Structure formats: structure tokens, C-alpha cells
Chain A
Amino acid sequence: METTQKIGEMFDTEAVRAKKMGADMQDEMCLTFWSKSHNERFSRTVVAAFAARLDPTLEELSDLKTAVSEAVTNAIIHAYSDEQGKIELRAELSGRDVIIEIRDYGVGIPDVKKAMEPTYTTRPEWERSGMGFAFMEAFTDELRVDSAPGEGTRIRMKKRIGGT
């Protein structure tokens, strides 16, 4: 998809640019955990702690926590059906940007475009509002979803801390 390709390029360019500038704020972390619902809160806390170094406002922190919560919750609910599987949370600080990647090795999304439609959900019986992706998009500057059946799902989000 053309749009996703452009976003991917943006990611790379920013990181390369930051390295060239010798940006002070360069850091990276990676965390792996089981697809258990108590890890939703855990992952929010971890990202908030990690992003704290950029001195975000409460609102920016809230945005990040919500976006991460949505992505991690999606993985926990959908990726592994009734079994447990691993979820990887990666976060990177690059200049004033926080780049977050949430990845699972589960069932994958057959139609990404459809999945991202607001209020679309494959679990209406669980009272899923279907707003997960809408929230992720609302609270981050860039969002990229890569997924295919049987190949897991990777969600990448980017947010600039401290204005444009």
C-alpha cells in the first residue's frame, strides 16, 4: 500500500537524521511478555516511564499510554485465540520522537484496511467498541500496521513530544 510505504520511509529518515545530528536523546528498549491482560497496564507503565526522559506533558503521556494500551490489548485479545503467546514491545527515543512498536506472532489480520475502520470489531460479543485503531490514530502522529494471516501483526506508532 502506497501510504504505508511512505510512513516507513519517514521512520527511517528521522532515525538517520537524528543520528547525524548526534541527538542526545537516543535510546531504545525492548520488552517481551505473555499475552495476558494484566500486562496491558504493565506495558502502559513501561512506555510512560521510558518516554518520561523527554519530559512530556500529562496529556502527551496520556496519549502514549492510551495508544500503547490499545495496541497491546488488540494483541492480547486477537493474536493467539485461546492460547498464550508472546508480545514484543519496543520503544525508541529519537530526538523528540517516541517510536513504539508492538508485535505479535499470532493469527494476523486478513484485511488491515477493514480492521482499521472505526467501530469494526470481530468480537462484538465481548463488548469491543472497535475504536482501538481510531484511538491509536488520534493519539499519535504516525501509525503503521503490517499484518498478514499466519504472519502475526506489527504496529508501529510515532509521536513527537513537545510540539511540532
Chain B
Amino acid sequence: MAKKKDEIEKKTMRKGADMYQEMLVNSGKEEAEYSVRQQTLLIRFHSDIDHHNAASIRTKADRLITRGGLKNIVFDFEEVHFMDSSGIGMIMGRYKQVIFQGGRIAACGVGHEVDRILTISGLYRVMDKYECVREAVEALNQKTGGR
């Protein structure tokens, strides 16, 4: 009886350790939430934007834009407290994508840290900043005649 209990305990411990490992490796939620507003892709980031995240954001965004024939992108930085040049590269890459179709990009929910990076990188030359998601989406859908 005691032996069986030991075995069960060992198995549970091992499973627990595996789950913990998995949790550590895949730590965290999705890096962003993607939704569509007429012709615009809305990306609401949930964490830091760096090289680690940028690739998967790029893949998902591009897939949605292609499949949905989307024209514009709104980046919602409300939950972002850190972004480095990898984020700049990702935004530039998306910009190059949509401008091809006559689309535009916009930013909203820009906090202090993100604002500095966007300013220094000169990204505001190709991207307008809005106070909130609704404003940004409306502005973009209007300007590019989104329906």
C-alpha cells in the first residue's frame, strides 16, 4: 500500500515539474490580441515589444492582413511599457506592407516610454498618434475609404 502511494506521489511530482517547466518556457499570455474593424487590423499588444515577440507578431499580422484583404493597421500600445528597435523594425515592416495597397498605420494608447522610441526613430513621420482606439480606427477607415 505504501509502495503504491510512493509511486503515485513520484508520478505527480514529475508531472508537476513538467508542467512548471512548460509554464516557464511558454511563460505568459499571448503577446497580442488581433481584431478586425472594417478595413483595419487592430493589434492590441499585451507586453513588451522586442525581438523575441516581433517575429510572431509579424507572422500573425501579415496572415490576417492577407487573408482579410485588410488595408490599415492600428497599433494599440496601451499595455506596452517597453519597446526597442526590434519593435521599430516590426512596425516599419507592416507599414511597407500596407502602403502598397494604399493603406495607413496609426498608434494609440502611447505611453511615455513608447512615445520616446517612436519619436527618436522618426516613426511619427509615417504614423499618426491618436488618443484612443476608436479615434484611430475611424480616422484610418475614413482616410482610405474603408468599407
Residues of A within 8 A of B (CB): 37-38, 40-41, 44, 58-59, 62, 65-66, 69-70, 73, 76-77, 126-132, 134-135, 138
> Which residues of B from 79 to 125 have beta carbons under 8 Å from A?
82, 84-86, 88-90, 92-93, 112-113, 116-117, 120-121
For B88, give its contact among A38, A40, A44, A129 (CB under 8 Å). Answer: A129
Query: Do residues B51 and A73 form an inter-chain contact, with CB atoms below 8 A?
Result: yes
Q: Is A131 a contact partner of B51 (Cβ separation < 8 A)?
A: no
Residues of A close to B112: CB separation below 8 A: 58-59
Chain B residues in contact with chain A, CB under 8 A? 25, 27, 48, 50-52, 54-55, 58, 82, 84-86, 88-90, 92-93, 112-113, 116-117, 120-121
Identity of the chain A residue whose Cβ is nearest the Cβ of B47 in the assembled complex: A41
B51 nearest in chain A by CB position: A73
Closest Cβ of chain A: how far from B26's Cβ, in Å? 10
Q: Which of A37, A127, A134 has the most CB of B within 10 A?
A: A127
Query: In the complex, A86 Cα to B81 Cα: how many Å?
Result: 28
Residue numbers in A under 8 Å from B27 (CB-CB): 38
Q: State the majority secondary structure of interface residues on A.
A: helix
CA distance A61 to B93 in the complex (A): 28
In the complex where A62-B113, A127-B58 touch, is A70 in contact with B52 (Cβ < 8 A)? no
Determine the distance from Cα of A132 to Cα of B88 in the docked complex, in whole angstroms.
Answer: 10
Question: When A and B form their complex, which 6 residue pairs have the shortest distance between CB atoms, in order from nearest?
Answer: A129-B89, A37-B52, A127-B93, A131-B85, A127-B89, A69-B84
B3 to chain A, nearest CB (A): 40
**A131 in complex: contacting residue of B48, B52, B116, B121, CB < 8 Å:** B121
Complex: chain B residue closest to A123, CB-CB: B89
The answer to whether A132 touches B82 (Cβ under 8 A) is: no
- Note all chain B residues with C-beta closer than 8 A to A76: 51
Asked whether, in the complex, the Cβ of A66 is within 8 Å of the Cβ of B89, the reply is no
